[in-house]
Amino acid sequence: MAILNFDAEAIEPTTDFEPLPVGDYVVLITASEIKTTKNGNGEYLQLTYDVVDGKYKGRKLFDRLNLKNQNQTAVEIAQRALSAICRAVGVMHPNDSAELHGKPLSVKVGIRPANGDYSASNEIKGWKSINGGTTLPTAAPTSAPAQTQNAPVSRGPWDRPQ
């Protein structure tokens, strides 16, 4: 038991949040943690972004980068995403994910449709420097022609933690 001395009438309650609309948002990475995948055979970097500007200031976005996974495509996608994040915040050789925290960047946000037990949610589709850098999508390597710099790229279901 904990003594709270709290007045719920004085504070607006948290409500269920719908996903943010598709678009670009200025954010800061405010938390990061390596977690084990559900099946225990891999690890992902979970990132928390805080929107710091505009109508949705204060909202949070989340991303998971499968840095160790049996699916090599998932690992390649995660490594490309991490490279894009590092370039967007200007930290090219981080030793710790905390080095990415607190540096503003712009993220391209999309919506992942509801699927089974999961409701619709936001997904990060690209990152860029707020100092005019180009969008860096998370596309897996392909033999297809190169995409234009600002073309949206979808992540697939393989990028969700196992």
Contact 78, 159 (CB under 8 A): yes
Q: What are 93-105's pLDDT values in tens digits? A: 999 999 999 999 9
Give the global pTM.
0.73
80 and 159 in contact (C-beta within 8 Å)? no
Question: Average of pLDDT values for 125-138?
Answer: 71
Q: Give the model confidence (pLDDT) of 114-124 as tens digits.
A: 999 989 999 99
What pLDDT is attached to residue 7? 86
Q: Which domains does the chain have, with CATH numbers?
A: 18-137 (2.40.50)
- Residues contacting 52, CB < 8 A, separation 6+: 26, 27, 28, 104
Tell me how far apart the alpha carbons of residues 126 and 105 are, in angstroms, rounded to a whole number: 11
More confident site: 36 or 138: 36
Q: What is the pLDDT of residue 12?
A: 76
